Amino acid sequence: MLALLLLFAIIVVLVRFKLPIGVALLVGAIFLGVYHFQFSERFWQMLYDSLINLKSWRLVITVALILTFAHIYESAGYVKKMVASLQTFLPPKWVARVAPSIIGLLPMPGGAMVSAPLVKELGANSDITPEQFTALNYWWRHVWETTWPLYPSIILAAAVLKVSVWDVAIINFPISVACILSGLILKKVGSSHRKAGGLDFGALLGSLWPIATIVLLGLVFRVDLIISVMLVNLTVILIRRVSRPDVIKGLKNGFSPSIMLLIFGVMTLMYAIENTGAAAIFYNELLYYHIPSVMVVFTVPFVVGFLTGITSAYIGVGFPVVLPLLGAGDLTYKAGMLLAFAGGFMGVMASPVHLCLVLTNDYFKASLARTLSLLILPIILTSLISWLLATTIYR
């Protein structure tokens, strides 16, 4: 128990000092290995195994290609085309919700900034406060984060939990439903009247086909995610004639050293927690003190997510710790997975250091404290609905 508490403290402190999360996770893994094995042969073998593991390299390639796709998709003009088409058949108050959620299908850091100008424009000349602008844009941008299979966090979680990304997406779908229902209580932005003019469903479909194709190839035809993303990337580049500088920039964003370091940090820490038996010790401590596993599965990822504001942190640190609790006692594996995701995700959404929240809060010139106060109720509602669904449909 002491080792895990020290591990959490080290990682949180390093992240707070602006060290890259991948570096923080690697330092945590090394600490845990030294704590249990000193500098013995088992310690060096653990590090070596995590470095040469093919699963880690596969994760690096998958995540890099998806991040490359997000940049190419935006460079091809599909985001602007999608927003323009939405305005032809939805009133502004719904565009302000739907547009951030669709843009949220693209896994990009600080992605809420892409939809922020649109939301601000839709609510121009209204009595909406800067905090209400921020809360609405921030919340709807993230409703798919625990479900959408193109998110690197979902791919990382699938590797840690040893399931497919599609299993994660399907099991976690109730969290997205809970987010959507809870988001409806946030004050609407814009009027209820749609602009005059013809409906342009064709333009909307035309802007979403690259995303839909990747999902269709994976869900229906079971095409490997690496192959499907590569095919769609090449097709978009050729059809839209994406410039060489944009393609190169996309590849640099995707195959960046920080991304590779993040993947290896997560995988190495998972190896360390498994090989040192730290999770098993933690589990036995819970049994000794009669602490309900359902509370721990939700709370541990929540605390990690809240303290760091980073999704990969609660997956890389929290998930390996609670993994032995999934499927233990009255908690089924699916219910445990959903609760762990819901806890970590709500922790990140409530975190005052979450990048999207910080950026958009600054953009709208809002008070961070007042913005967070508007988010408390949706966070509580999402947590309760997720908890209820996990303990009923996944019993």
Compute mean pLDDT per 10 residues along the chain, 395 residues long, and list them. 82 82 88 90 86 82 87 88 82 88 80 79 81 95 93 91 92 96 89 64 87 87 89 95 94 86 82 79 76 88 87 88 84 93 96 86 90 96 94 86
Task: State the SS3 of the chain.
Answer: CHHHHHHHHHHHHHHHCCCCHHHHHHHHHHHHHHHHHCCCHHHHHHHHHHHHCHHHHHHHHHHHHHHHHHHHHHHCCHHHHHHHHHCCCCCHHHHHHHHHHHHCCCCCCCCHHHHHHHHHHHCCCCCCCHHHHHHHHHHHHCCCCCCCCCCHHHHHHHHHHCCCHHHHHHHHHHHHHHHHHHHCCCCCCCCCCCCCCCCCHHHHHHHHHHHHHHHHHHHCCCCCHHHHHHHHHHHHHHHHCCCHHHHHHHHHHHCCHHHHHHHHHHHHHHHHHHHHCHHHHHHHHHHHHCCCHHHHHHHHHHHHHHHHCCHHHHHHHHHHHHHHHCCCCCCCHHHHHHHHHHHHHHHHHCCCCCHHHHHHHHHCCCCHHHHHHHHHHHHHHHHHHHHHHHHHHCC
pLDDT, tens only, 2-32: 888 888 889 888 877 878 878 988 999 999 9
Residue 141: the pLDDT is 93
The predicted model scores a pTM of: 0.83
pLDDT, tens only, 222-269: 888 899 999 999 999 999 999 999 999 999 988 988 878 888 888 888
Residue 191: the pLDDT is 67
